[in-house]
Structure 1
Amino acid sequence: MPLLLIKMINKSRGKILGVLALFLVMVWYSIYREDSFYFPVQENKTTCPLGEVERKAAQLIGNYTRDHPLFLQLKDYFWVKTPSLYELPYGTKGSEDVLLRLLSITHYSLPKSIQRLKCRRCAVVGNGHRLRNSSMGETINTYDVVIRLNNAPVHGYEQDVGSKTTMRLFYPESAHFNPRTENNPDTLLVLVPFKPMDFQWMEAILNDKKRVRKGFWKQPPLIWDANPEQVRILNPYYMEVTAAKLLNLPMKQPRKVKQKPTTGLLAITLALHFCDLVHIAGFGYPDSANKKQTIHYYEQITLKSMAASEHNVSHEAVAIKRMLELGLIKNLTYF
């Protein structure tokens, strides 16, 4: 009986080894697919699509150029050669005096760590609800430049949104009351000026002057502990490009019908003008019929809160989808 059993095992050995080999191949393939799905950034570390963003952006943005500085500089206002054509948020016409004082205490350059990069891989992190439970934090942290918006928190949400912040775009009403708590020590704090009062608020804060209290739709921080060396003033040129070229908005609108781009779409536009790779995460709003779905990953407000805003979110969604179709940007979350 033992001899018969041994003979049967010997005859089946080839089949057993074959099944085992097939099983190991299936396990390897499964792991390989998981890795490629959950870590889409890794493949971009070996090659850099230099020039690809510029080429595709030119298809979407008329007269696309990278010649304009990202941030406003003192020299451009100390000796004004070409006055701005538009008032804020699309130009600086009428705000030159206060801007001159503000630019004398802030900076305009990019950190050397970014300037020396041969390839700038950027992630623009929106504030959308779809980031919640996304586990995208580790992936977001792998990018060279991480751009965040307004007062969106990082602490407590690191697993989903990451912890790295290269620059944060904000305006006074959206400024976090303590910028040191939700940013890295070297984060650039980029003021997006919508109105002259925004310049006055920033100047008063940094020079410790009497605070500006009127002219805001929501009271901004009266104490804002930030290092002036980390503060930048966004060039309104990028707001103009976002409005005129991506949303086809007129630069001069009737007072009752004013529409402005969101900070999120503005951040994508900015990235398209200095990055070699642009990925986005956390963009998109709930369906208009879903009135109970929250719009942010960190608070409970719904789409109803956008009703009185000057933003056309459906119009912006079309612009972002067009960028995705062109391969100009890639999405790390669903849209």
Structure 2
Amino acid sequence: GSKGTVAGAGAWQWGGDRGSRTGPGSMRCSLRVWVLLGSLALLFLTSLLFSFSLRGGPGLPYLDPGPDWEESRRVKLVPNYAGSHKPVPAESGQQKTCACTRCVGDPGVSDWFDENYDPDISPVWTRDNIQLPSDVYYWWVMLQPQFKPHSIQQVLLRLFQVIPGRSPYGSWDPARCLRCAVVGNSGNLRGASYGPVIDGHNYIMRINLAPTVGYEEDVGSHTTHHFMYPESAKNLAANVSFVLVPFKTLDLLWITSALSTGQIRFTYAPVKQFLRVDKDKVQIFNPAFFKYIHDRWTRHHGRYPSTGMLVLFFALHVCDEVNVFGFGADSRGNWHHYWEQNRYSGEFRKTGVHDADYEAQIIDRLAKAGKITVFPGK
């Protein structure tokens, strides 16, 4: 057969008849030809195996997105949400999207912002946008690969039996001024006395541990949204929205378990078996929105955006006015959390997967464009 012919040809070229048919020049030529053919075959096999694995083959069962995931390559928009943020022309001729002095959604203020900002991508993962585009899905699951087969849609449908699974955020309203405080954990909050200013906002968004008891004068006492991972989760008051930032399917299994059976006690670290939060206020950060920030804003600097950036852009998509507190170093250049006693610990900057300097540039640029106001702290 053909395999025998190829093998025979190879044997003849390399070790059989060394007569007049194969001089030194043709031997070198044959070697190059066979090396080239071998390389092409290896390349073909590699690409074949890779494409097979991306189709959910047995090599990578945890990457099985189900039969419907290939339907769409672009971010799914929430029904009745797409286009709902179109600005309303004001009498002055300028378009106003809210009743605040400066509104996030007002177009024509910054070309850079307008080019990158997509108001129709929902920051919340819901029943309506349950299907992720395949490119988003594969990027997301590779952030923290879990080598276990899970049907993501089945996991989400189970979760949405426990929590509402819908977005509570509506469209722009020219009569509304929804003011939001994004409160980071920087040590520059210590001694800044921002508490009353922060508490004066409609939405107050906090991240991970973020204690308020004992720090009310500097960081405020109210919270409306708390963004956490399973590994940083804590119980919350009944009026606070718990926004889960999921990095893996196991995180979705955990939140379902923590609000019901308590089966999961460990992800890559011990996690709370049960979580006391208001189930009706639990929201899931949308991986499509996560990737949108990575692609459009942080521009692939760092492996993925920091939680601070995720929360900041969440606010930029649900609020009319965004004020930022507790980001960056303190006035002496130290990176630490406001509840840490050692200001030289540098804990804030040791993440390794984020580009803190590039993210600081984005925040600065957003401030210069008039889309956010940054309170520098001390």
TM-score of the two chains, using structure 1 as the length reference: 0.70
Aligned residue among 183, 188, 193 for 1:125: 183
Q: What one-letter code is carried by the residue in structure 2 that aligns with 1:316? A: E
Q: What one-letter code is carried by the residue in structure 1 that aligns with 2:167? A: S
SS in 1 for 2:318: coil
Aligned to 2:291: 240
Q: What one-letter code is carried by the residue in structure 2 that aligns with 1:298? A: W
Q: Percent identity?
A: 30
Aligned to 2:338: 297
Aligned to 1:191: 244
Aligned residue among 346, 351, 364 for 1:321: 364
Aligned to 2:300: 249
Aligned residue among 214, 219, 225 for 1:167: 225
Greater helix share, 1 or 2?
Answer: 1
Map 1:200-219; keep pairs closer than 5 Å: 200-214=253-267, 216=268, 218-219=269-270
Bigger Rg over Cα = 2
What is the CA–CA distance in structure 2 between the aligned matches of 1:305 and 1:75, rounded to whole Å?
A: 36
Greater RCO structure (CA 8 Å; 6+ sep) = 1
Worse-superposed segment, 94-103 or 132-141: 94-103
Deviation at 1:70, TM superposition (A): 3.0
What is the CA–CA distance in structure 2 between the aligned matches of 1:111 and 1:83, rounded to whole Å?
A: 22
Deviation at 1:285, TM superposition (A): 2.8
Aligned to 1:157: 215
Aligned residue among 99, 102, 115 for 2:159: 102
Deviation at 1:308, TM superposition (A): 5.0
Q: Per the alignment, do residues 132 and 162 of structure 1 end up closer, same or farther by CA in structure 2, a change over 3 Å counting?
A: same
What is the CA–CA distance in structure 1 between the aligned matches of 2:139 and 2:259, rounded to whole Å?
A: 21
1:224 partnered with 2:282: no
Q: What one-letter code is carried by the residue in structure 1 that aligns with 2:121? A: H
Q: Is the 8 A contact 2:122 2:286 kept in 1?
A: yes
1:332 partnered with 2:348: no
Structure 1 unaligned segments of length 5 or more: list them: 1-45, 251-257
What is the CA–CA distance in structure 2 between the aligned matches of 1:102 and 1:89, rounded to whole Å?
A: 22
Q: What one-letter code is carried by the residue in structure 2 that aligns with 1:269? A: F
Deviation at 1:227, TM superposition (A): 2.4
Q: Is the 8 A contact 2:196 2:220 kept in 1?
A: yes
TM-score of the two chains, using structure 2 as the length reference: 0.63
Q: Is the 8 A contact 2:330 2:377 kept in 1?
A: no
Deviation at 1:97, TM superposition (A): 2.1
Alignment length (residue pairs): 270
Can you list the C-alpha shifts for 1:22-70, whole angstroms capped at 9, x where unaligned? Answer: xxxxxxxxxxxxxxxxxxxxxxxx8543465555476236452222233
Structure 2 unaligned segments of length 5 or more: list them: 1-98, 143-149
What is the CA–CA distance in structure 2 between the aligned matches of 1:188 and 1:274, rounded to whole Å?
A: 14
What is the CA–CA distance in structure 2 between the aligned matches of 1:86 and 1:47, rounded to whole Å?
A: 34
Aligned to 1:147: 205
Deviation at 1:131, TM superposition (A): 0.5
Aligned residue among 117, 120, 123 for 1:67: 120
SS in 1 for 2:299: coil
Q: Per the alignment, do residues 237 and 300 of structure 1 end up closer, same or farther by CA in structure 2, a change over 3 Å counting?
A: farther
Map 1:39-50; keep pairs closer than 5 Å: 47-50=100-103
CA RMSD after TM alignment: 3.2
Q: Per the alignment, do residues 196 and 300 of structure 1 end up closer, same or farther by CA in structure 2, a change over 3 Å counting?
A: farther
SS in 2 for 1:266: helix
